[in-house]
Amino acid sequence: MPTDDTHLDVTPRLRIPLREFRWSVARSSGPGGQNVNKVNSKVILRWSPRETTSLPADVLARFVTRYASRLTEEGELIITSEKSRDQPKNKFDCLEKLAEMIRAIAVAPKVRRATKPSLGSKKRRLADKQQRSQTKQGRQRPAGD
């Protein structure tokens, strides 16, 4: 379970207080027959990542950059779930979706360092090119007089 009663546990070092989230419910369009018309089982989670103090600055910057298209003009992230006919399960699913999004960017990407090909690899490449060139020249028709 990704959460205790007061926090969403994303990783052992990243925890977001549940008080930062705003919840609303709506009628689900999912399975449930006539029950769908009576029960508000769809759960909508709203969270303002720019206002949180729970995430380190680098993680927050990566989150905002990666999920910029999912943020509203006010800077809120909206996550919905209507997978289940049970409201608590949908709430749990919203929290799990958010936790997965944060886990995806929690670790900083490895910095790529430019490298040069070795002298041996350059020589092998040129030797292979020369060999292919000779093979193709051998396929040509002899020049006519």
Using one digit for the tens of pLDDT, what is the confidence trace for 131-144? 999 999 999 988 87
Q: Which domain holds residue 100?
A: 7-104
Let me know if residue 111 belongs to a domain: no
Let me know if residue 32 belongs to a domain: yes
Let me know if residue 37 belongs to a domain: yes
- Residue 32 sits at φ, ψ, to 5 deg, of 145, 0
Let me know if residue 113 belongs to a domain: no
Tens-binned pLDDT, residue by residue, of the chain (145 aa): 455 668 888 888 889 998 999 998 887 775 666 666 677 788 999 999 988 888 899 999 999 999 999 999 999 999 999 888 888 999 999 999 999 999 999 888 899 999 999 999 999 999 999 999 999 999 998 887 5
State how many domains the chain has: 1
Whole-model pTM over 0.85: no
**Distance between CA atoms of 9 and 1, rounded to whole angstroms?**
9
What CATH number does the domain containing 74 carry?
A: 3.30.160.20
Amino acid at 73: E
